[in-house]
Structures are given as structure tokens and as C-alpha cells.
Amino acid sequence: MLDIKFVRENPDLVKENIKKKFEDHKLHLVDEVIDLDKKIREKIQLGSELRAKRNSLSQEIGKLMREKNIAKANENKAQVVEINKQLEDIEKDEESLNQELTKRMLVIPNIIDPSVPIGKDDSENVEREKFGVIEEKNFEIPYHLDILESLDGIDLDSARKVAGNGFYYLTGDIARLHSAVLTYARDFMIDKGFTYVIPPYMIHSNVVTGVMSFDEMDQMMYKIEGEDLYLIGTSEHSMIGRFIDTIIDKSKLPLTLTSYSPCFRKEKGAHGIEERGIYRIHQFEKQEMIVVCEPEDSMKWFDKLWSYTVELFISMGIPVRTLECCSGDLADLKVKSVDVEAWSPRQKKYFEVGSCSNLGDAQARRLKIRIKGEKGNYFAHTLNNTVVAPPRMLIAFLENHLNEDGSVTIPEVLRKYMGNKDRILPKKK
């Protein structure tokens, strides 16, 4: 959410930013919030004037009573009663106007960084850099579900009976591999100096609206019926919510945290064959990075965060690239975002396995996360990034490490988490 003072002083800039995000249907909101802001300030000014008048009348009442000027004192008392009624009405109007203002301000997108490429949607995202060596396979790579089934590693049929489409049972060495990747990612981030956290998996609605846009909320979140609780779609939600309405001493920054959680998402819409299986699912697990920092440091942390994900994937022998998200592909709270995509030997293309985002002070402003500095308090900047999110990343893992005999090689960095196994063997036919 933007600062209303910024919108008031820079309406054309805010409108231009909306146009860059191809959200012209929101342009009217700028004029509306400026009008509402003007009315609120007028109400505040009128309220101040009436309170000053009430104070003056109240002081005068005492004097009049001492002078036994009862008639005039009663006249003043009547005016005070009337002023109190006016103030009550003004406060109600002010509250109503503030609610309308906030409703609109929550929908106006954050100001994107000047470096963000301008484009309508994800088809216009821009490749930044490729990492790792792509190994050409001299045999046909099966669909990832076929690989998993050949390793006796998945049971979708039972999951459909138990929970429906979009759920799965991972079994045997594949389940162990899934846990090994998460444990390795956890240790990887701890070695980078991040503090490990396991957060709540459900959050209140005020935290939801503090960390994400309404569009994201509708597309992603599952609500617990009859309670003010939502299942998290990523641990970022509860991790940032942890600092709601807090003032953090400048000396304690940056806060660098890595969190594990299951994640729950609606994943609306139909998808092609490559996005079935375990690509788009309603439940998965993830290791995440969270940073709360000084405003001037957020871009430096942004580049550090996505580079850690790249380093992690390369250490597991999976080639990746970074993709700069264009303006039309950025969620409204984001200042800048980069996706990390892994190479799929089967599809001969990259696909998303993580996303790094700088949200500026948008979440901090909504949740009142402030920094205590030498010259007063100000809003922090928040960032988040996927360390790794199996089981989706297992698709890239299996395809890149599949051998012609159907076995899957386990990279050196994961072997200690896999009982020192160097391969997963296919089941006997």
C-alpha cells in the first residue's frame, strides 16, 4: 500500500505506474483516493476547530459560574453539548471515509522499480542469465509420473480417493529424497547465516490482507469455515505476519530467516499434461527465505536471495536460468521479481521452480512493521524467495539425473541425507 501523501503529491506518477502494469481499470482509484483524502483532512480540520471551541467554552463556563452568570453558563453548556454531537458525527464520517480510502489504497499497485521490463504478462518476461551445463541425453526421457511410478515413488490413485485431484502419496526412496532435499536446503541456508524457523500454518485475515493482494488471495487461499483463519500458501505469509505492529531497533537489522512449512493452494484453472502430476498441486512443502531490512539495502538483498537459489540448484546438478518478471506479471505489492527456472530435458525448456520478490515497504506499511532509527520510526522493507519447493522441483531433479537404465543418480550433496545411497533403482518388473 502506498503512502497517501505520496499519492496526493504524485498522482500522475501513480497513474503512469498503473498504466505500466496494464491495469487501466484502476486509474479512477487515484482521483477517488485524492478526493477522499481531501474530505478526511477537511473533517480533521473541522474537528480540531470544534474541539478548540469546546475547550474555550468549557473554560469560560467555570468563570461564568464563579461570576454567578448562570444563564450565560447554561448557554455555553448547550453549545458544548451541540459540539459534542457534531464531533460524534464527524468521527463517524471520518471513520467511514477512512474505510473507503483504505479499500481503494489496497488495490492501487506498488510503484515498480525502474529496472522492471514493461510487458503485459508472463509471455513478455525477460531472461537474465543461464547457469549450469545442460547434459544432452541420448535416450528418451519419460513423463515425470512414469519415472516416479517406475521407482515405486508415487500413488496418485489412492490420493484421489482420499482427497481428490491435486494430491499425492510419495513413497519409499522418493519420499526420502523429497525430505532430503528440504533438509539439505535448510542446512544450506543456515550455513548462509539465516535463522531457521517453523511458523504457524494458519493465519488471521488481517495478516492475509497485509501480505498479499486481493487477487492473489482469491486465487490461492483456503479459508477455514466458521473461523477467522486461512491456510498459508507459503510460509512467507506467517513469517512476515510475525512482525505485525512491531518496531524493530535498527541495530537488529537485517533479519535473515529461513522457514519450512507445508503450503496449501487452490491452483485455479486447467493445465496441460506437463502441469499435471506433481507440477500444480494443492499441497506441497517448501523451504523459504525471508529478509526484513533497511530500505536502502533491499535491492542488495534481492540479488543475494535469488543467487542463493541458483547456487543450491547448481550444487544438485540442475541447470537453471533467471527470468525477470515484467510489469504486467508482477503482483500489486511487488517492486521487482525474478523467477528461477530449472531445465527440463524432457520438454527442452525451463520451468519455474522458485520466485524472488522485493516488496519494498508495501507489506510493512499494511502490517505496521517499523524500524526505530536515530531520527524516528520508518517502514522496513521485506523480501522473500523460494529456496526449494519439492515436489515440483523433483521433476527437474529426476529428468536431469535419470540414467538410461531407469535409475536416478543422487548428487554428492544429498547422499548423507539418503543413507549414503548414490542411486535410486527402478522397481523390478
Same domain, 127 and 101: no
Q: Given 42, 76, 105, which residue is the final one in a domain?
A: 105
Same domain, 81 and 161: no
Here the CATH number for the domain that contains residue 101 is 1.10.287.40
Here the CATH number for the domain that contains residue 363 is 3.30.930.10
- C-alpha cell, 91: 468521527
The answer to whether the beta carbons of residues 196 and 189 sit under 8 Å apart is yes
With CA atoms as reference, report the closest residue to 383 among 325, 320, 338.
338
Same domain, 281 and 153: yes
Same domain, 97 and 190: no
pLDDT at 293 (0 to 100): 98
Same domain, 354 and 420: yes
Alpha-carbon gap, residue 349 to 41, rounded angstroms: 55
Strands 202-203 and 195-197 turn out to be unpaired
Same domain, 240 and 170: yes
Within 13 Å of residue 115, how many CA atoms lie on the same side as its CB? 10
The pTM of the full predicted model, rounded to 2 decimals, is: 0.90
pLDDT at 216 (0 to 100): 77
Same domain, 73 and 154: no
In a domain, 114, yes or no: no
pLDDT at 273 (0 to 100): 44
Same domain, 161 and 268: yes
In a domain, 420, yes or no: yes
What total of structural domains would you count in the chain?
2
Same domain, 274 and 369: yes
In a domain, 24, yes or no: yes
Helix (H, G, I), strand (E, B) or coil at 326: coil
Q: Which domain holds residue 60?
A: 4-105
pLDDT (tens, 9 = 90+) of the chain, 429 residues, equals 899 999 999 999 999 999 999 999 999 999 999 999 999 999 999 999 999 999 999 989 988 888 889 899 999 999 999 999 999 999 999 999 999 999 999 999 999 999 999 999 999 999 999 999 999 999 999 999 999 999 999 999 999 999 988 899 999 999 999 999 999 999 999 999 999 999 999 999 999 999 988 777 777 899 999 999 999 999 999 999 999 999 999 999 999 999 999 999 987 554 444 456 788 889 999 999 999 999 999 999 999 999 999 999 999 999 999 999 999 999 999 999 999 999 999 999 999 999 999 999 999 999 999 999 998 999 999 999 999 999 889 999 999 999 999 999 999 999 999 999 999 999 865
In a domain, 135, yes or no: yes
Amino acid sitting at position 187: D
Same domain, 237 and 376: yes
Same domain, 76 and 127: no
Same domain, 20 and 96: yes
In a domain, 115, yes or no: no
DSSP string, 169-217: EE-HHHHHHHHHHHHHHHHHHHHTTPEEE---SEE-HHHHHHHS-HHHH
In whole angstroms, how far apart are CA 221 and each of 100, 212, 264, 268, 282? 24, 10, 7, 11, 10
